[in-house]
Structure 1
Amino acid sequence: MKALLKILFRNHWKKISLIFILTFINVQSQLYLIELIPIILYHIKAGRYNATFLILDRFYIAIAVSLICMLLTSYLSFSVSSTFASDLRLKVFSIMMNTNNVGEFCKNKFSGLMSRTIRAIDTLQSFVLTLLKRVVLFFMAFICVVYSLIDLDILYASLFAVFLVVFCFLFWWKLDKMVNDYFHVRKHSGILNNLFSDKIIGLKTIKLFSKEDHTREIFEEKLDETYNLGYRFRYKLSYLLVFLIVLHIVLILFILWGLFIFDANKTLAVEIFLSLIYILYLVNHINAIIPFVNSYTIAFTASVRIEQTLALEHTSNPPRIRESNFEGIEFNNVSVSIFGMDILSDISFKIPKNSKNLIIGPVGAGKTGLINSLTGFYENTAGSILINGKNIKSNSFDDKISLSNHHFMLKGDVFQNISLGDESITREDAIRACDDALFTKDLSFEVYERGSNLSADLKQRLAIARALAHDCEIYVFDNSFSQIESTSRRIIKENIKKRLSGKILIFIDNIFDDYSDMDNILVMENSSLVCQGSHDFLIENCETYRRLINCSGGK
């Protein structure tokens, strides 16, 4: 919470300062109105109507000033809280877009951190609004009331101020302790939610192994524990409301005490009346603390989620590779291990410029892992990837790679899905790419979210067209033809080879299919490169390659 409040005050200190000033003027205007009320009543009772009208002018001016300050304070509070939330959302989006590797991706996606963070930002926005509109008002009312009471009796005002300070300290200490209790409640609610999910998903398995009774015991134990924790938390939270009630009672006792300490012989009755009204005014603003109490624990939890996401922000991305004369790629003893699982194991090979390459192997062999290593999505645990003899870092070369990914489709027309915001791609470029991919839809055809209105083969054709339209050094077609019928598949592959002559082509497939003209074929199995070479060389020297061809009906 402290980190986020620092960001809030650092980025919006001008508006927040103005809120404090306007709130101070508002409170002072309202206290001035309180002072004018007994004077007006006194003049009316004495029949001094001319004096009454003169005072009424000041009365109306004070009302106008108070209303203007309240309106401006509301506007600024909404503006600050909305802008603060919007800035956080943009920051979260920026972090998500700058995710460089699988470790960060897992933190963002698989843990659900991003979706929970967006909800947390909404919670924090409401809390900031309450803080600026309600708590600042109470704080200013407290200062102004104590200052006004000093004019009546300094000892009385000092005791009153000391009591309020001690009360606020105890109140804040108790509220801060409630945060830990709230975390325990949320934690156990999450455990219970997982048990619900596990029980539903694994019900048949549980019954199969006759473990239903044991699972029921665990479930009922957690259900009871969660209920008791939640009950105790709400019970403790009610203590804070009791604090507020005690504060009301003590302030009323201060009022009664004030009636006795003022000497009627030397103090006007109007001053006694004013002291009572001042304290009652502050009592009224104590009610502003109630929504703050209700939102504080939730907002604190939300702030933890937001800070977890902000912690993923990069200080800087590695500089892009800027090579005017691109020669090729070299994998030098590259190994990748993720969460204890070997994705690549000691891979070494070279891919020169102007070459056609095939990476082939059974499902799970590590073929896509090679490309993820090249783009930096998988960070190498050993070895290096060289571009023109230079060791590249993650995310430093991915702007030179065009990847055919049919799993990603934008909600928009075909041209938007092809260009992806690249202004250098013209509609003529997109039409040519669609022709080469045998994609028959018009550029204005509206693609639904995730391409739900396109068939599987049209999605693959559109992804191929998108890859072809972008000018890059390396073109990767990862299982890009599996849903396309054989005749069209052969035509599209020929179009790709003609169009991208002089570039590096990398085809990734689970089976052999019309790839006999490849310059280099990499055969992978069990995360390792078992052999590489031309089609004829591998037919003679690689048993794994022959087995894959036989399984796919190739020759």
Structure 2
Amino acid sequence: MRRLFKILLKNYWKKILLIIIFTFTLVYAQLDIIDLVSIISFLLKHDAYGQIVNFRMDIVVSVSLAVISLIFISYLSVSVVRDFSYDLRSKMLHIVTDFDTMDEMNKFPVSGLKTRFIRGVDTEESFLLYVFKKILLLVVISIEICFFLFFIFDELAVVLAIFLLISGLIIIFQLNRLSQIYFKVKALNGKLNRLFREKIVSSKLLKIQSKEQEKNKIFDDAADNSFNEGFRFQYKLNFIFYIIIFMVFVIIGFIFFSIFSIKIGEAELFQMTLILLYLIYLLSNFNGLMNFVAIYPLASTSAVRIGEVLVCEKSEVQKQLNQKIAIDFNGIKFDNVSLNVNGKDVLCDVSFEIARNSKTLIVGPVGAGKSILFYSLM
């Protein structure tokens, strides 16, 4: 996770800076709209319809800023995700396909998990930037809300700022711990993938059955470990839910306290209530993000398919012919493979090797079809 953030900040810091600037602009415009709504409501209540005309330009400017900022944030986010995922996929593909021998490949920790990462990199990085945007938006809005409240009731603004700061630090600490558990879950699922892949490739004639029928202790242990780590991830995540729910109740308490205890004008009171309700809405949105985080490691890995792990056994035909099949896979190697489909050369003098630990090496001249074979094997 830290490496991804470093690459993201190093190569795309200009676009990220623009996203931050437009995020501040969007939040400022939204809070300005809340301010205008409170003023217009106050004028309508006192039948001062003629003065509303004076705020027409302010409304147009605020709405225009909000719409323009939202458009640019969406465009820049899509642009960063697209370019970031393309760069990572290209780098990983070059690393994997540039090895000449299996010994060279063994020096680089390429696992089944990382080969899947090449295919699903859009999902990983889209998710990373999505979390980054949500947290950034919540931080920016919290800062600006405290700034706005300071001019209405400074003591309340200071208390709210301290409360949000402490809660934010706790959430960041918990997210850091969650990221470590999350990658443990993915690593265990990568181990499961290697286990059944070694068995599937170990024979030419396969009979597929479920893990429950095989009753293989190795699979059982790996699946149990993955489930336990996933449960631990969910358990730790619940703590963040409790913090967010507590924050919402505290802010609701601030609203009731300000309504019944603070001696301020109707317009300021209405404005402050709207701002705090807006913060509650964002916290609820962040709570939805946490729910998404909870299901993401299960949806993006093979954890949801643990009960359907594929293994192979000796087929009845092979048993009758007394052919010996090595269930423990030792490796497969093909040299100078060529493939012609409908008069078109798909593969030309390509060699590939699959080792026991699921590492796959593909060697061949330029334009021989290495990438086609690479994606086909995955």
Give me the TM-score of the superposition, normalised by structure 2.
0.69
Q: Deviations over 1:136-184 (max 9, x none)?
A: 2212111110110110122211111111111011112122222333344
How many Å separate the matches in 1 of 2:194 and 2:95?
28
Max radius of gyration: which structure?
1
Task: Tell me: CA distance 1:155–1:13, structure 2 relative to 1, closer, same or farther (3 Å).
Answer: same
Q: Is the 8 A contact 1:123 1:298 kept in 2?
A: no
Which residue number in structure 2 is paired with residue 178 of structure 1? Answer: 178
Amino acid at match of 2:64: A
Amino acid at match of 2:4: L
Counterpart in the other structure of 1:281? 278
Provide the residue aligned with 1:37 in structure 2.
Answer: 37
Rounded to whole Å, the distance in 2 between the matches of 1:37 and 1:225 is 54
Q: Which residue of 2 aligns with 1:386?
A: none
2:198 and 2:95 mapped to 1: Cα distance?
32
Structure-2 change in CA distance of 1:132 and 1:188 (3 Å): closer
Q: Match for residue 265 of structure 2? A: 268
- Give the structure, 1 or 2, with the largest relative contact order (CA under 8 Å, sep 6 or more): 2
1:46 corresponds to which residue?
Answer: 46
Deviation for aligned residue 1:219: 5.0
SS in 1 for 2:337: coil
How far does the alpha carbon of each residue in 1:243-294 deviate from its partner, in whole angstroms, 9 at most, with x for none?
A: 222221111112222224422xxx2121112111111112212234346544
Q: Residues 135 and 292 of structure 1 are in contact (CA less than 8 Å); yes or no, is this contact kept in structure 2?
A: no
Cα 1:448/1:109, change in 2 over 3 Å: farther
Aligned residue number for residue 79 of structure 1: 79
CA positional deviation for 1:123: 3.2
Aligned partner of 1:317 in structure 2 is none
Instruction: Return the letter of the residue paired with 2:167.
Output: F
In the alignment, residue 19 of structure 1 is paired with which amino acid?
I
Paired position in structure 2 for 1:241:
241
Letter in 2 for 1:230: G
CA-CA distance at 1:53 after TM superposition = 2.4
- One-letter amino acid of the counterpart of residue 21, structure 1: I
The alignment partner of 1:47 has SS state of coil
Indicate if the aligned counterparts of 1:108 and 1:114 stay in contact, CA closer than 8 A: no
Pairs within 5 Å for 1:49-448: 49-106=49-106, 111-112=111-112, 114-119=114-119, 121-192=121-192, 216=216, 219-220=219-220, 223-263=223-263, 267-290=264-287, 292-293=289-290, 294-295=292-293, 406-407=336-337, 445-448=343-346
Q: Is 1:81–1:129's contact at 8 Å kept on the other side of the alignment?
A: yes
1-structure distance, mates of 2:218, 2:194: 12
Considering only aligned residues, what root-mean-square deviation do their CA atoms show, in Å?
A: 3.8
For 1:494-533, what aligned pairs fall within 5 Å after superposition? none
CA–CA distance in 1 between the matches of 2:75 and 2:167? 31
TM superposition shift of 1:409: 5.8
Aligned equivalents of 2:69, 2:217: Cα separation in 1:
60
Q: For the residues of structure 2 that align with 1:113 and 1:230, how far apart are their CA atoms?
A: 17
May I ask how many residue pairs the two structures share in their alignment?
Answer: 309
For the residues of structure 1 that align with 2:81 and 2:102, how far apart are their CA atoms? 34
Q: Distance in 2 between matches of 1:154 and 1:286?
A: 22
Distance in 2 (CA, whole Å) between partners of 1:200 and 1:407 is 22
User: 2: distance between equivalents of 1:35 and 1:142?
Assistant: 16
Following TM superposition, by how much is the alpha carbon of 1:191 offset from its aligned partner in structure 2, in angstroms? 4.8
Contact 1:29 1:63 in 2 (8 A): yes
**Distance in 1 between residues matched to 2:199 and 2:336, nearest whole Å:** 35
SS in 1 for 2:258: helix
d(CA) in 2 for partners of 1:44, 1:248: 31
Q: Which runs of 5+ in 1 are unaligned?
A: 204-212, 303-363, 369-404, 414-444, 453-465, 468-555
Q: 1:17 to 1:191 in 2, by over 3 A?
A: closer
Q: Which amino acid aligns with 1:74?
A: S
* Residue ranges of structure 2 left out of the alignment (5+ in a row): 204-212, 301-332, 351-364, 367-378
1:355 alignment counterpart: none
